[in-house]
């Protein structure tokens, strides 16, 4: 996705959560967005314009009556410049002013003068948020196609606990990215997606096991991307040290057999199955009840084949989901990937060369090539979170074509 040259006006109002805004700006800039910050007088009581200028790389606008800016009709210029206006934090006062159509400061004037979409991230005391007037204002703005992002719940600066916290910077940045996602991604709404992720562990004895180097980062990033785009996501994960993406249902397993049983149980109720886990192909035929002592120089472990999760789900004759596989290879990537695509009768396969330094297992970056019966498509090296969003968009394109 080309996020470069997308223009964001970030409106900051007078709430304690304004301290989170430099992080929002920094993350957006890292993704290629061009940011202009507009502050209300109240916002400047919590954070300085100089701080926001330093992280955004642009002058901060804070006055409707700035002679230098208004010589070129500054407020109209910003209103026309923006591809998206995000107000975070949005106090109840600013929300009420926008709802009423007031233009009593630079930010509210820009909101009236723009044709760009507007998103509001409320942040206020939980009781102020629950107030009938605030709820009515938010309802009215929603009906005018203003996006309402949040608020979150939890302990507030005043000591209260409840709904009214500003969303975390990462969540706001993700919502901005989602806003600019290609149109096919919108087809994910109301779809059920099942994803496997991480390694499996095959026990030898109570303290030893056979596993692999999978970190689970790619599968978790796909789960997060799919959820952000509106899908209902179930994630079956092997042993990893990763946090569950927000609002994703997670099922923890250890062995390949456990993952197989859970995936086969869940698959018929899902529209798409993405097999991203690095599942052990074999397991020890006998698992010792006690720790095996080191007696000889050599040790022999007899292995038996694990059930093939992806092949078994792809072979379903009723309620079969759209099946997407992964192929982590070290050589002849296309040959092996296409062989797996045909052998397991998959709809789509994503292949990567894990022998390349800086991508694949335990890396934050990855690159993929998608293969299907009549074609292929390259997804170049990128952060796994960004790559996951691109991959989900491609999957939904092929899913729609198959329907």
| Residues tagged active-site | 158
Name the nearest CA neighbour of 308 among 281, 328, 327, 269.
281
Q: Which residues contact 353 (CB under 8 A, 6 or more apart)?
A: 329, 330, 331, 333, 359, 360, 367
Name the nearest CA neighbour of 27 among 8, 43, 46, 14.
8
Question: What span, in angstroms and rounded, lies between the C-alpha atoms of 266 and 313?
Answer: 10
Bond prior to 22 in cis (omega within 30° of 0): no
Strand partners, 195: 235, 274
**65 token code pair:** 């009556």
Q: What is the DSSP string of 288-311?
A: -SSPPP--SS-----EEEPP-HHH
Residues 78 and 61: beta-carbon distance below 8 Å: yes
Residues 359 and 381: beta-carbon distance below 8 Å: yes
**Strand ranges of the sheet holding 272-275, from the earlier edge strand across to the other edge:** 249-252, 232-237, 192-197, 272-275, 322-329, 348-353, 365-372, 375-383
Strand partners, 153: 163
Question: What span, in angstroms and rounded, lies between the C-alpha atoms of 366 and 390?
Answer: 12
Q: Which residues contact 345 (CB under 8 A, 6 or more apart)?
A: 311, 314, 315, 323
Question: What span, in angstroms and rounded, lies between the C-alpha atoms of 377 and 45?
Answer: 51
Residue 362: Cβ within 10 Å count = 10
Q: Which residues contact 374 (CB under 8 A, 6 or more apart)?
A: none
Question: What span, in angstroms and rounded, lies between the C-alpha atoms of 137 and 37?
Answer: 24
**5 token code pair:** 């040259």
DSSP 144: T
Question: What span, in angstroms and rounded, lies between the C-alpha atoms of 92 and 96?
Answer: 6
């Amino acid at each position: 996705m080309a996020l470069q040259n997308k223009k964001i006006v970030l409106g900051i109002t007078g709430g304690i959560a304004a301290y989170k805004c430099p992080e929002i700006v920094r993350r957006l800039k890292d993704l290629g967005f061009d940011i202009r910050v507009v502050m209300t007088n109240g916002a400047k009581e919590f954070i300085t314009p100089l701080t926001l200028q330093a992280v955004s790389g642009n002058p901060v606008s804070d006055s409707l009556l700035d002679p230098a800016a208004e010589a070129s009709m500054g407020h109209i210029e910003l209103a026309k410049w923006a591809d998206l206006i995000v107000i975070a934090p949005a106090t109840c006062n600013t929300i009420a002013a926008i709802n009423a159509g007031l233009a009593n400061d630079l930010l509210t004037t820009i909101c009236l003068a723009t044709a760009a979409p507007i998103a509001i991230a409320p942040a206020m005391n939980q009781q102020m948020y629950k107030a009938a007037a605030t709820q009515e204002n938010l309802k009215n703005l929603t009906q005018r196609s203003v996006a309402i992002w949040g608020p979150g719940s939890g302990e507030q600066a005043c000591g209260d606990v409840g709904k009214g916290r500003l969303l975390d910077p990462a969540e706001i940045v993700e919502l901005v990215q989602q806003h600019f996602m290609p149109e096919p991604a919108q087809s994910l709404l109301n779809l059920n997606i099942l994803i496997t992720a991480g390694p499996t562990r095959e026990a030898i004895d109570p303290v030893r096991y056979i596993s692999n180097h999978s970190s689970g980062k790619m599968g978790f990033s796909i789960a997060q991307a799919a959820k952000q785009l509106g899908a209902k996501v179930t994630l079956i994960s092997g042993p990893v040290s990763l946090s569950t993406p927000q609002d994703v249902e997670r099922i923890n397993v250890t062995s390949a057999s456990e993952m197989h049983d859970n995936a086969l149980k869940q698959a018929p109720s899902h529209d798409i199955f993405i097999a991203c886990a690095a599942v052990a192909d074999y397991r020890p035929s006998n698992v010792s009840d006690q720790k095996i002592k080191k007696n000889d120089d050599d040790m022999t472990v007899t292995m038996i084949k694990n059930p093939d999760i992806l092949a078994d789900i792809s072979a379903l004759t009723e309620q079969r989901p759209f099946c997407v596989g992964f192929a982590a290879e070290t050589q002849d990537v296309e040959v092996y990937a296409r062989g797996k695509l045909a052998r397991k009768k998959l709809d789509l396969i994503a292949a990567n060369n894990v022998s390349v330094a800086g991508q694949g297992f335990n890396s934050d970056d990855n690159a993929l090539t998608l293969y299907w019966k009549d074609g292929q498509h390259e997804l170049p090296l990128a952060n796994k979170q960004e790559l996951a969003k691109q991959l989900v968009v491609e999957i939904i394109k092929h899913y729609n074509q198959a329907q």
